[in-house]
Amino acid sequence: MEQAAPSPRTFIAPLSLVNLDAARERFGEQKVNLLIELTHTGDALADAVIEEIAALGPEASRKLNLGIKQGLKTVDNPPPAVSAFLEAAERIPDWVNPQSLKRGCEAYLFIGNIWIIFSLGPGSLTHTYSSPSIASVLVRTGNLTKMAMRRLAETGSWNIESVLPDGLSVGANGYVHNLQVRLLHARVRHTLLKQGWNRHATGMPINQVEMARTWLDFTYVPFSALQKFGITFSREELADLYHLWQYIAYLLGIDERLYRQMLDQQHAQEILALIDSTMEGANEDSKVLTQAMLEAVSTFLRPVLNLPAPITFDLVSALTRHLHGAQLADQLGIKRTWVSKTMPLITLANRLQRAWTRRSPAARQRSIARTVQIFHHNLALTGQTTYQRDADNLITSQLPQAVDPLATT
């Protein structure tokens, strides 16, 4: 995956990077230079595939999709970029430990379905949307706010398929979904650059720094958030969780120089602190996306929790404020609510429940099996996801948009 790159000193920081002198003093010249370089870097293998398909047309796209689902060996005379992309994806890195992947899946599923949802929406997506550059790209894709419920379900589908046992094996759903998401990112980059994206202002669209930050939104951010609510992890569980998510990062085309050094919460916290310290604060796009997401999470959880709509929304808002702190919550317009006073009780209940379940391996396995069953049932989406539909139409010049197959026009 690694490719030779010019010295970081040849890269000029985009205008969106701030506080660089302070970052150099705190984190060191080398890490800041790498950060600057990676704001100008996309995903060479995936980007080359999009360029190749644009030149060769539907037949190249057909071969790519066949190779993703059934393996490179099933593709006759694959074009060079398609072949290189699939070859790299199917090559399992030497550092991958299958047993650690398996344990990482179990540790993730042991979280439980409700708290996985809380960690995905109030935890992961709130932090993702707080990045103005990421929020701007998302808003450019059109109907994110109107389709927040659908996009939440699609994110959940990708997330769960990625962590199900053996889900990342070549041709399995998690493997396929991750490569489709990766190609979606590449096509968005290709389209925005064709439309005159200002790289001087913000660097490459969906650049390596933004991809790594989003990856941290599904690792460090939710792992930290969950522990605030009594969903604790042992050191061994966190090591396996990070091992699992490092392999996901590999499939998503994230630069090894970023994710391979993040082996635990401490290392991940340092990288996220570097990224966040050089990023501008949340903007209006961030606020709009967050509010739509909170409404979607509340709608999704209302029948599960069996609570009135206003109380469900207040609960989701209170959880989000507790996870991210008052400063970011205020920037994103997250309401203050009386439900915040119940957070200590929720945390205590989770600690007691988790401690009891840990004492019995059988109870732990039942909890994992229940989570798998619930997500298989609840995340059975009608129609294709945005990234699945996009994979079938990689030659289009339009930005991808979420679609509700049940909506009437």
395 in any annotated domain: no
pLDDT of residue 252: 98
81 in any annotated domain: no
Distance CA 12, CA 37 (A): 8
Question: Which pTM value belongs to this model?
Answer: 0.89
401 in any annotated domain: no
Residues whose CB is less than 8 angstroms from the CB of residue 204 and which lie 6 or more positions away in sequence, other chains included: 39, 40, 41, 42, 189, 193
Q: What is the domain extent for residue 225?
A: 98-389
273 in any annotated domain: yes
pLDDT of residue 378: 60
61 in any annotated domain: no
Q: What is the pLDDT of residues 126-170, one digit of tens each?
A: 888 888 877 877 776 655 556 777 777 788 889 889 999 899 999
DSSP line for 225-266:
HHHHTT----HHHHHHHHHHHHHHHHHHT--HHHHTT--SHH
pLDDT of residue 401: 64
pLDDT of residue 160: 87
How many structural domains comprise the chain?
Answer: 1
Q: For the chain, give the mean pLDDT.
A: 87
Total residues belonging to the chain: 409
pLDDT of residue 106: 94
How distant, in Å, are the alpha carbons of 187, 258, 404 from that of 183?
6, 20, 21
116 in any annotated domain: yes
45 in any annotated domain: no
Q: What is the mean pLDDT of each run of 10 residues along the chain (409 residues)?
A: 48 92 95 95 97 93 96 96 98 97 95 84 85 77 65 83 93 96 94 91 93 93 88 94 98 95 92 92 86 87 85 89 87 87 85 86 88 73 75 70 56
Residues whose CB is less than 8 angstroms from the CB of residue 320 and which lie 6 or more positions away in sequence, other chains included: 122, 126, 294, 329, 334
Angle at 197 (CA atoms; ends 284, 30), nearest 5 degrees: 85
Q: What is the pLDDT of residues 271-329, one digit of tens each?
A: 999 999 998 888 888 888 898 888 888 888 888 788 888 898 998 998 888 888 888 88
Neighbour count for residue 172 (Cβ, 10 Å): 16
Partners of 197 in the beta sheet? none
384 in any annotated domain: yes
